Amino acid sequence: MKLAEAQRIFEIESEILESYIARGLIRKANSGEDEYVDSDFERLGIIYMLVESGCHNDEIHHYLSLDDSTDEVTLLRKWRKNLHGEIRHKQKILDKMDNLIWEKKQEM
């Protein structure tokens, strides 16, 4: 599959696709310079979610190499727990900021 075709089909910006290629998450096919491995594009949703959730390149490669659903679920649960902790931390910061805004408004 060509990059432009994947961009159109999956509605993903070329910069994102190019960053995935640079990270080795989408590989060039042996058939030609502008061709990429179709199965890599089939995993784009998973790759996108893992990248956006903050997973590192080696973690994503490890996940994509797993053959056992039990191992995949275990790893996804671990990452979900970490992400949930980060969200709770950010929510506490937002709550403190909201409180400070409220206090400052009371002084006006």
Residues 41, 72 share a domain: no
pTM over 0.75: no
What tens-digit pLDDT sequence spans the chain (108 residues)?
888 888 888 788 888 888 888 888 888 777 667 788 877 777 888 888 998 899 998 999 999 999 999 999 999 999 999 999 999 999 999 999 999 999 999 999
Do 60 and 50 form a contact (C-beta atoms < 8 A)?
yes
Residues 79, 107 share a domain: yes
- Which residue has tokens 């030609």? 32
Residues 81, 57 share a domain: no
Task: Output DSSP code: residue 26.
Answer: S
Containing structural domain, residue 44: 1-65
Do 36 and 2 form a contact (C-beta atoms < 8 A)?
yes
CB atoms within 10 A of CB 64: 14
